[in-house]
Structures are given as C-alpha cells and as structure tokens.
Amino acid sequence: MTAAREERLPLDAASVDNARTTLLQLLARAGVFSGDAEELMGLVEAGALAAAHRELAGTGREAPPGSGEAYATGWRDGSRAVAEGLAGLADRALRTAVAAGPGGEQDARPPVGRMEIERARVAVVPLYLSFSEESELDPEVTEQVLVAVLATMDARERAAYPGTLTAFAAGHRGRLERLYAAYGPGGPVAIHGRYTLVHSPTGLAVLERLAARPGELRAEWDAAELPPAWLDGLTRAWDDGA
C-alpha cells in the first residue's frame, strides 16, 4: 500500500450520519425547522456532487502523463462512466432536496417556502450592495415581493436562483450601474413613489424577472396585490438604462 493510499480516510456512513444529526440539532437550537435544515443540506450535497462531476468531466478525464494509448482510452472511458454516475447522483440529490419543500416534487410550482425566501434574500442583498447603498423596505413587504418573484419559478429554478441572479447582475452590470446612479440612493429621484423598489435589494430580483418573464411576474404581482406603480417604475427605470 502506498503512502498516498494510507493517508486517505474516507468517512464511513456512521460518521456522516453523526455529522448530519449534529448539524440538525444545532440548527434546531437556532430555531431552524428540521424540514428547512434538511432542504439546505440536500442542496449542499447536490452541489458537492455537481462540482465533483464538473471536475471529473474536465481535467479528470485526462490520463496520467506517459500513459500508452490503450491505457489512456480505458482511463477516459472509465472517467466518463464515473462522471455520468456522479451527474445522476447530483440530479437525484437535487430532486430529493426540492421535493422536501412545501408542495412536494409533484407540483410544477409549489407554494413558495420560507427557506426559499431566505435563500433569495441572502443572494440578492450583496449583489444589490455592489451597485448601491442598502436601504431596506419593511420586512413584510420584502417577503411579499420575493414571494411574487419566486412564484414565477418551479422548485428546481428556485434552488438555482442565486446563480441566476449572479449571472444577471454580471451580464447587465453597465445597465444596472446606470439605473442605480439615476434612480437609486444618492440619485436625483426620491425614494418614495414609483421608484421605491430601486432603493431596496428586492428590486434587483424584480428586475431579473422583468427581463426573463415579465408576463408571469405581472400576473403574480397582481395576485399578491402589490402596488402596480412599483413595477411600472422599475420597468421605466430598466428601459431608460438600456
């Protein structure tokens, strides 16, 4: 046995279960419901498997330098099989995690859950702060806006929404910088009125949905009985920044 093999210590099932149980108990003491905690851990597990798949599907398929052609071919075939297996495990873990949320896997668009709202909030605030100063709305209004945004997505899309928001902010940085300079905190437009949401981190999430699914967002907006002027103001500001 080589020294490298001797140093490897893969976690056994009992140790993994112990870590999971410990984390669940710590989160419960902090007031996190067990279902929410399970969902978060499931998403982390799915993400770890997806990351392993990406790594193995890339440079992991290359055979060690100096390998013969027959060995290299077998190496690539074996790596491909393992990578496909990891992709399947990642997808299964994601389906299990999102099915644990409210509504279950059978619903195309289940009711928006508390943890989905919190994940969206955690994602959007630092992105907003990269464009503007923080100026939060009332927490209840913030939740209502995020519910309307998330209701336009299915459970898998909600799980991936932080990445969607990050890509949106990066892909439209110049336009967003112009928008926040003209309508955001410190700009010439007052916070109150139709441009109120430009002064809130949730406005960035609304802008992403306006660009991606404007009709569905308006339907959910009306269903939530949110002020139409807020959405109209963001639409005007977004168009002006083009």
The answer to whether the beta carbons of residues 169 and 204 sit under 8 Å apart is yes
12: DSSP letter: P
Out of 2-6, 61-65, 136-140, 204-208, pick the least confident: 2-6
pLDDT, greater one: 51 or 9: 51
The angle, 0 to 180 degrees and rounded to 10, between the axes of the packed helices 139-150 and 214-223 is 130
pLDDT (mean) for 36-62: 76
**Based on the number of CB atoms within 10 Å of its own CB, is 219 exposed (0-12), middle (13-18) or buried (19 or more)?**
middle
pLDDT (mean) for 44-60: 74
172-231 pLDDT tens trace: 999 999 999 888 877 776 666 788 888 889 999 999 999 999 999 999 999 999 999 999
Q: Which residue is listed with tokens 């439209």?
A: 172
pLDDT, greater one: 10 or 121: 121
- The pLDDT assigned to 49 comes to 77
161-187 pLDDT tens trace: 999 999 999 999 999 999 998 888 777
Distance CA 219, CA 107 (A): 19
Q: Kindly give the residue spans of alpha helices, DSSP state H, lying in 130-223.
A: 139-150, 155-159, 161-171, 173-183, 202-212, 214-223
pLDDT beyond 50 at 235: yes
- The pLDDT assigned to 15 comes to 79
Out of 26-40, 46-60, 130-144, 147-161, pick the least confident: 46-60
pLDDT, greater one: 176 or 36: 176
Distance CA 176, CA 185 (A): 13
Distance CA 41, CA 93 (A): 10
